[in-house]
Chains A and B, each alone.
Chain A
């Protein structure tokens, strides 16, 4: 191999055709430090095609799908997810499955039953989450791209903390068949890549209607395009509530404002506007998502798969299997969801959250009738140190910028936009439903002016380039 794949875009890697071994060896060399992969496929047979990785909640025949949970610790995938099948049909070769917060519940990978992943920019810090293993793997050049799942920011927040692209497509554009369900009205699979063109190329392979996911729409979008990156004439709205959020770190805010100035210099209009309901985003989300999760996770009962605790009767077996199988955060959310769905509290909590969701979606769509995109930081802070945050609510509040897109089913992307204290930060663009191609094109404009890229690819920290 004469070219170094770390310097190539996905289309060039695809044309090389023999890079599986190159990435697989890098995983052997570096994964002990990063804990990005939970399992990798063998090198024994020759694998031609382009390598990729998926989060460990996406099924792939021949692999385990653990969701980073003890309760699925021995679960061998009985079929391929639609995204896996589609990538493989285009010549994809799965490198392995990446670490995550258990059942995608978390923002740091600290909730993985197999230990946290580490941020390639500073090993003492989290990579973000829940798709933190995928983000760390792409950022350290252990795979050309990875798939993650995004329920409240789980693709975009870790992408931002690791300095790569993270794209959550419009709800219904990518099939979730074979994605282990967390909160079904919010879940969406998305690509994590080192440049915008790669994200478009992955979308061209994985998006589209699937009869096995009744939420996928028949609205065909073509991602088979060369992105232009023209920002001139575009109108961006920055919600004042996002800028005045008390948890927003001053230096992250400064970096974000500096990026908005550069966007303006490229000929776009950036205006601060108000979207009052986004203040309720976290409360709304953490009422809806745990409610859906408590229902989705009822299937893990030790009966048909997973470790089974022996007990004299069904009730004891189920309760003990679940108690031993689930981690603390998962139990917390199941209990919270059970509380809000219980007859006494349903109206006051769950129903109110669904109504607030409608109001928030309405306000976001109204702004997007006037502006092309909504712009805000991807995360209010840089990646915290592992173990630094122990209060669950503190982590929940960090999702404030990414949640609105899931609540309304909108496409949203995090683009690396420089560094704060040596750690990557991102800007988040959110657009109208089905504006996915336009959002990728405009995000390419931000990529072109961002200091986070070199020769059109997100910079890999020097430590991992040997």
Chain B
């Protein structure tokens, strides 16, 4: 198992995780993650002959009926908007200026 995290990889992970770390945070978290990955090498010798278990639920669950239910507190969700115009959620632009 890989246990080293290069600066380039960490920067890539930051992008995927939508984080923007400070330099001091970056140094500390890199060290912690490498230590944790070192511990994960415990699994190096393990080659489980099993298929993946993604949930403890063994039986297939019965889906519920698809039905429209009025959510009475929608105003409370709108009240949480960081920025709004009327009842609309105001969002930032998603394009960047060409440089």
Contacts of A41 in B (CB 8 A): none
Contact with B along A324-335 (1 / 0, CB 8 A): 001010011011
A328 to B77, CA, bound (A): 28
CB distance B20 to A361 under 8 Å? no
> If the complex has contacts A185-B55, A323-B19, are A331 and B76 also in contact, measured as CB distance less than 8 A?
no
CB distance A358 to B52 under 8 Å? yes
> B80's contact among A305, A319, A410, by CB below 8 Å, is which?
A305
CB distance B39 to A283 under 8 Å? yes
Instruction: Say if the beta carbon of B56 comes within 8 Å of chain A.
Output: yes
CB distance B18 to A332 under 8 Å? no
Contact with A along B19-31 (1 / 0, CB 8 A): 1111001001100
Residue of B nearest to A319 (CB): B20
CB distance B61 to A217 under 8 Å? yes
Binding site for B on A (CB under 8 A): 61, 75-79, 171-172, 185, 211, 214-215, 217-218, 279-280, 282-284, 286-287, 294, 298, 301-308, 311-315, 317-320, 322-323, 326, 328, 331-332, 334-336, 338-339, 342, 345, 348-349, 351-359, 361-362, 391-393, 396, 407-410, 433
CB distance B93 to A314 under 8 Å? yes
CB distance B76 to A361 under 8 Å? no
Interface of B: prevailing SS:
loop
CB distance B40 to A283 under 8 Å? yes
CB distance A78 to B80 under 8 Å? yes
* Nearest CB in chain B: distance from A302 CB, A: 6
Kindly count the residue-residue contacts between A and B in the assembled complex, taking CB atoms under 8 Å apart.
174
A-B contact pairs, 28 of them (CB 8 A): A78-B73, A78-B76, A79-B76, A171-B56, A214-B63, A217-B59, A286-B36, A302-B82, A304-B80, A304-B81, A305-B80, A313-B93, A314-B94, A315-B96, A331-B17, A335-B29, A342-B13, A349-B1, A349-B40, A355-B53, A356-B46, A361-B53, A361-B56, A393-B36, A393-B39, A396-B36, A396-B39, A407-B56
A32 to B80, CA, bound (A): 29
* Nearest CB in chain A: distance from B89 CB, A: 6
Q: B35, B55, B77, B92: which has the most chain A beta carbons within 10 Å? A: B92
CB distance A392 to B32 under 8 Å? yes
CB distance B64 to A211 under 8 Å? yes
Instruction: Say if the beta carbon of B68 comes within 8 Å of chain A.
Output: no
12 more A-B residue pairs beyond the given contacts A331-B19, A338-B16, A359-B50, with a C-beta to C-beta distance below 8 A: A76-B76, A211-B64, A215-B57, A280-B42, A283-B42, A320-B20, A328-B28, A349-B40, A352-B46, A355-B50, A361-B56, A393-B35
Residue of B nearest to A359 (CB): B48
Contacts of A171 in B (CB 8 A): 55-57
Q: B13, B19, B35, B95: which has the most chain A beta carbons within 10 Å? A: B19
Instruction: Say if the beta carbon of B62 comes within 8 Å of chain A.
Output: yes
> B2's contact among A75, A79, A345, by CB below 8 Å, is which?
A345
Contacts of A301 in B (CB 8 A): 18
Q: How many residues of chain B are within 8 Å of chain A by beta carbon?
A: 58
> If the complex has contacts A304-B89, A313-B93, A314-B93, are A323 and B54 also in contact, measured as CB distance less than 8 A?
no
A305 to B89, CA, bound (A): 10
Q: B17, B35, B91: which has the most chain A beta carbons within 10 Å? A: B17
Contacts of B89 in A (CB 8 A): 303-304
> If the complex has contacts A301-B18, A342-B13, are A354 and B81 also in contact, measured as CB distance less than 8 A?
no
> If the complex has contacts A214-B64, A335-B29, A355-B48, are A185 and B16 also in contact, measured as CB distance less than 8 A?
no
* Nearest CB in chain A: distance from B77 CB, A: 5
A299 to B51, CA, bound (A): 30
Binding site for A on B (CB under 8 A): 1-2, 5, 9-10, 12-14, 16-22, 25, 28-29, 32-33, 35-37, 39-40, 42-43, 46, 48, 50-57, 59, 61-64, 71, 73, 76-77, 79-83, 89, 91-96
CB distance A319 to B18 under 8 Å? yes
Contacts of A332 in B (CB 8 A): 29, 32-33
CB distance A306 to B82 under 8 Å? yes
* Nearest CB in chain A: distance from B97 CB, A: 8
Residue of A nearest to B9 (CB): A339
A433 to B56, CA, bound (A): 9
A282 to B83, CA, bound (A): 42
CB distance B13 to A339 under 8 Å? yes
Contacts of B80 in A (CB 8 A): 75-76, 78, 304-305
Contacts of A211 in B (CB 8 A): 64
Contacts of B14 in A (CB 8 A): 335
Contacts of A79 in B (CB 8 A): 71, 73, 76
> If the complex has contacts A79-B73, A349-B1, are A335 and B17 also in contact, measured as CB distance less than 8 A?
yes
> A357's contact among B53, B64, B81, by CB below 8 Å, is which?
B53
Residue of A nearest to B20 (CB): A319
CB distance A172 to B83 under 8 Å? no
A120 to B12, CA, bound (A): 44
CB distance A322 to B18 under 8 Å? yes
A19 to B59, CA, bound (A): 43
Contacts of B37 in A (CB 8 A): 339
Contacts of B82 in A (CB 8 A): 302-308
> A308's contact among B54, B59, B83, by CB below 8 Å, is which?
B83
